[in-house]
Structure 1
């Protein structure tokens, strides 16, 4: 049976050919190598039309232009040469589009990313919709790659090297108005007239290349270019610390094309694409992509419909939860607090977040009003009778949370789910007095709720399957990545985080300066260091869970004794302006609070090598992660890797704790822990699960491509 084409051509009465892109049986359009003959076929059909005046590429999908290349196609490459040839195929087909004798216009609605934008760049003109779904970008760097179908060559020529490098090195996606201002698109219009405007642009004929803005022209000269690339390299190194080789290759490919011509640029691009595809960093990032995509598809069938949400508590967490429920999920949310001030605080939280979007022109004032209208509040349970799910975000007090369960069961419907945002209390204890324990579940958000992408969903033994699925569905609608974890103290993320931070504190008590500890872990690949992280989370919050973990798991979770002095000195971190760092003055650069050294009776001196500091902290985390999998705290290595990367910023290029241990080898991890144990104490003793893996020569994943079972796109 002949494969149905994803590209088909029709010619209008005005002699404009319309090529519709519609990948069969897929929600989104993605580019695959198998489509190259199909694209060539429609291009040849167009060439043979005697009176053709122009071409328009448009999507047949309701909400997607082209979301990128199929990542599984890239993942299937077995050598750098395979991947290089794949890039060359893409370059050739884009060159054929660019060489067409008639004007070609890309009519863009929805995501136009990676290979999709490269196709649009091969066209003479581009028009996009003003719709919120429309995004344009080259996100390949986020997979440890660079654009491989001419993107590093055409984008700098269209908008200038400075603007192009900013887009390619960050992978960020632009909204319609941003793309228009930058010169990436020629027009941005309402969706209803997209095709009409594209046809008018095609009828204007071929267009000479537009002159670049003055700033870009200055940077395009030899002297300006040298300054630009030197500055870009320095800024890139400061952000990546050499952990992402793709950034260096992007700079090389762009510069080669500008200095030696587009042909040499294409060769450099394809060569770099091939070699980067084979790097462990890109492999890890691609597997994270497959894992998070697979996770999004779980529990879809079992969830109950959600129409109205309740939130108990108008504090920082309650306000954040209400904000993402309204803004991201688009669901009406009712906040209950014992004080009117609490409700007002939560409402202001949402107003401030939305106002920032209005200021950045990401949202209109009318849009802000529409989203705010979804949030209401009360000091009693009026309006809660028909809430399908109520999220409790009150103080970490067991009796108070049990009281909240009783009140929700009294005032809400029998099917209402009660989800507790707790970071330390067992869900089984919260549900202990419940009339309907099957409706009780944990839903652990991370602060700040609007920024942190992960939630932990924690069923207790009696939680129903429907409750789990419906809670996961809400988290997804809120824009979160959800992992289901076991109901044990610390759950997963805080449990692996606590030993990591504790070890950083021990380095500090040995006299290592605050900034060198943080710098060591940032250079290793974390977005912030462990000391700064503790300040951001709140020293009081961060240490509250340690006694619970110590009681459950033993003295490896015990906080260093001297650390009590920090809490006694009323240091809570950023939230009260007193922590390990100073938060006074207008300086953007955070300064360590040196008065802390005298408080802890230490003389700061940089003695430890940064690599050793990172190793000590990391090995404590890896050892605990191995225990978590062995004890069933996480369902799989995949969930554990996603939880660590999305929850605490574990370096994405390492793929997560389990992929990183597979890369190191269990035997090497055990030997490193044993050496640290002899030097620093029994807390580094390798756990039994790790020892057994090392003896058997087993990995955590059965194979390095275990999670690659989905055809999805991002590049």
Structure 2
């Protein structure tokens, strides 16, 4: 077939090789349009008596099947349309499973979503031991569930609990884990993957009656009482985590329970129905939107048409938590040598220890080999002076938030490095214009703001000042991507984008606290709204001294609307810095450190705590301050577009993903409603709630951000 995604090669030994290679794509994805092609191939295999077994492999280097093509869901106008898609996938995979011939999936690289469901329909699975090989069902991250039999086949293969954990978190299993769980029958080097798969294809179909489980797990999973307990507990834990904001996890549990109690046919029927319903939910629509936005951002350059320079060696100034995290993602993700400078040798040791601790955990959990860890650690070196910095292409500064110190760092790098070396500052509050003020080569100076902890937080803000060169911007964006980050280019100014929209939210939470609302009531209200932690708890986690350091810069540039309540001064004067010194808004003593409010704080602030506002009111007051500031940032060109603003808020401060980010959320609410509520609070609470001009204009003309 010309331009076909599938080719069939018949060998003399009775084994046929079915290769999937979608034309014009870097990775294989399953599309509805392939239905007739697959049917024709399966007809041919079924009718040819010389074929005894089939090896299913990918024609793509480094990838098996990355999943179903999500863009086809946009064409579904009803739940029934989406349900039909699910049933179509189920029918094809059922046919493979019920074939008389033995099917073997030869997996190298990612086998995710529909890719793993395809492999699960095969009778055997063999995978490579490569780092890039991972098997998972990540549909929950898009507000969906595995819709082509995954909710039925995986629990039958590896047990209910492990399968449910994989589906509810969306986390993939690496090759070693996949072998340990029983997802694959063998794990081999890539060089012999095909040969081993061929040998499996010559075997009879396996008789898999039940997964291998411990006695305790058998009692839980193989008895009606045990299963009832298991699913009841799973639902309880799921609701505690999702606060009811995400419908997909509960539907996944429904599908598994139906299939295990009433049989696979009923399980598949419920799976298809729930899949169809989830596709039409606003939560899935927003989560899919985030997926497409981040995919697009990965393809974009910092400055259109300006190619990045290659970064082959990086210097890191400062061996603290941020410096250690930056060195870690440089060595392990970007695979580039990182030279750490600190004024103390202990600082260097701590920064290297940061990487050692993370990697050693992975070795202990058998996710990576010790030799691989040693290779990555070998990319980290350090010095108390600038020796070894002469060849650095980029130096990333992560020292204290002190303007004079940062300006000195610029001068040092200009004196000790190449003329082309980029100086990237990880400042969270000081405008880059000020840091570059005394630079001899200001075109090389840029902001590269990471979020803590660096190894986990996906966002990086790239901040150009007026004199930053286009090549410096493109190079920094490209390198942040290599470090595994989603970079958002923002305009220079106090707080940049993420901290600028976070500050009014935090300030308003403090105002609500001073009005007498209990701390835990405030935090629970925002967690219920969808944030991972509440604003008061977040301040404790970040450090009260660090969290409030940005305020003077914001007040200096934007005026009184950023003035923080004086309560912060009282808290800091009482030597309360939060979790790091064990003294904050929460108590860090006793059996539950950080879980309970430090009641002595109310006395310090002269407050008698009493609930008088509803959780919805608290959430609205704090979140609307953030929305208003986000709109101003767009109006002033701090962010390039609403999409970047949404991704920045979701990845940088945990804005609820199911709401799609501040701009999507405002569109959903309606800008007239947003303006009306801001005016209400402006008249009844404080004039700082006055709606941004852009919101008023857009509301009047009936515009939306998207």
Shared fold (TM-score, shorter chain, > 0.5): yes
Number of aligned residue pairs? 700
For 1:383-422, list aligned pairs within 5 A: 383-422=388-427
What secondary structure sits across from 2:387 in the alignment? coil
State the partner residue of 2:186: 187
Q: Report how far residue 330 of structure 1 moved.
A: 0.7
Alignment check: 8 A CA contact 1:496 1:624 kept: yes
State the partner residue of 2:669: 664
Most deviating of 235-244 and 569-578: 569-578
Distance 1:201 1:379, change over 3 A: same
Distance 2:10 2:579 in 1: 63
Q: Report how far residue 427 of structure 1 moved.
A: 0.9
TM-score normalised per structure 1: 0.96
For 1:149-228, list aligned pairs within 5 A: 149-212=148-211, 213=213, 214-218=215-219, 219-228=221-230
Alignment check: 8 A CA contact 1:161 1:220 kept: no
Q: Report how far residue 211 of structure 1 moved.
A: 2.2
Distance 1:452 1:431 in 2: 27
1:318 corresponds to 2:317: no
Q: Report how far residue 585 of structure 1 moved.
A: 4.1
State the partner residue of 1:275: 277
Distance 1:323 1:248 in 2: 36
Q: Report how far residue 152 of structure 1 moved.
A: 1.2
State the partner residue of 1:532: 537
What secondary structure sits across from 2:427 in the alignment? coil
Distance 2:440 2:675 in 1: 47
Distance 1:49 1:215, change over 3 A: farther
1:154-191 deviation digits (Å, cap 9, x = unpaired)? 12222222222211111111111211221211111111
What secondary structure sits across from 2:639 in the alignment? coil
1:195-233 deviation digits (Å, cap 9, x = unpaired)? 122122222211112422244543232212211111111
For 1:212-291, list aligned pairs within 5 A: 212=211, 213=213, 214-218=215-219, 219-291=221-293
What's the C-alpha RMSD, in Å, of the aligned pairs? 1.4
Task: Give the gaps of 5 or more residues in structure 1.
Answer: 702-715
Distance 1:93 1:356 in 2: 41
Q: Report how far residue 568 of structure 1 moved.
A: 0.3
State the partner residue of 1:20: 19
Distance 2:210 2:97 in 1: 19
What secondary structure sits across from 2:381 in the alignment? strand
1:672-699 deviation digits (Å, cap 9, x = unpaired)? 1122223211121111111111101110
Most deviating of 303-312 and 218-227: 218-227
Corresponding residue to 1:639 among 644, 647, 655: 644
1:557-614 deviation digits (Å, cap 9, x = unpaired)? 1111222110101111111111111223453662211111111111122222111111
Distance 2:76 2:443 in 1: 47
Distance 1:217 1:589 in 2: 37
Alignment check: 8 A CA contact 1:319 1:350 kept: yes
Corresponding residue to 1:597 among 602, 607, 610: 602
Most deviating of 329-338 and 204-213: 204-213
Alignment check: 8 A CA contact 2:176 2:367 kept: no
1:298 corresponds to 2:300: yes
Most deviating of 494-503 and 256-265: 256-265
Most deviating of 565-574 and 149-158: 149-158
Distance 2:591 2:374 in 1: 33
Alignment check: 8 A CA contact 1:75 1:286 kept: no
Distance 2:484 2:621 in 1: 34
1:352-400 deviation digits (Å, cap 9, x = unpaired)? 2222222222222222211111011112221111111111111111122
State the partner residue of 1:347: 352
Alignment check: 8 A CA contact 2:8 2:18 kept: yes
State the partner residue of 2:4: 5
State the partner residue of 1:704: none
Alignment check: 8 A CA contact 1:518 1:528 kept: yes
Distance 2:240 2:433 in 1: 46
Task: Give the gaps of 5 or more residues in structure 2.
Answer: none
1:501-522 deviation digits (Å, cap 9, x = unpaired)? 1111112112222111111111
Distance 1:636 1:3 in 2: 41
Q: Report how far residue 65 of structure 1 moved.
A: 0.5
1:89-139 deviation digits (Å, cap 9, x = unpaired)? 111111111111111111111111100011011111111111111111111
Relative contact order: is structure 1 or structure 2 higher (C-alpha 8 Å, sep ≥ 6)? 1
Q: Report how far residue 235 of structure 1 moved.
A: 0.7
State the partner residue of 1:474: 479
TM-score normalised per structure 2: 0.97
1:75-102 deviation digits (Å, cap 9, x = unpaired)? 2222212111111111111111111111
1:628 corresponds to 2:633: yes
1:43-82 deviation digits (Å, cap 9, x = unpaired)? 1221232221111111111111101111111122222121
Distance 1:211 1:613, change over 3 A: same
Distance 2:2 2:692 in 1: 53
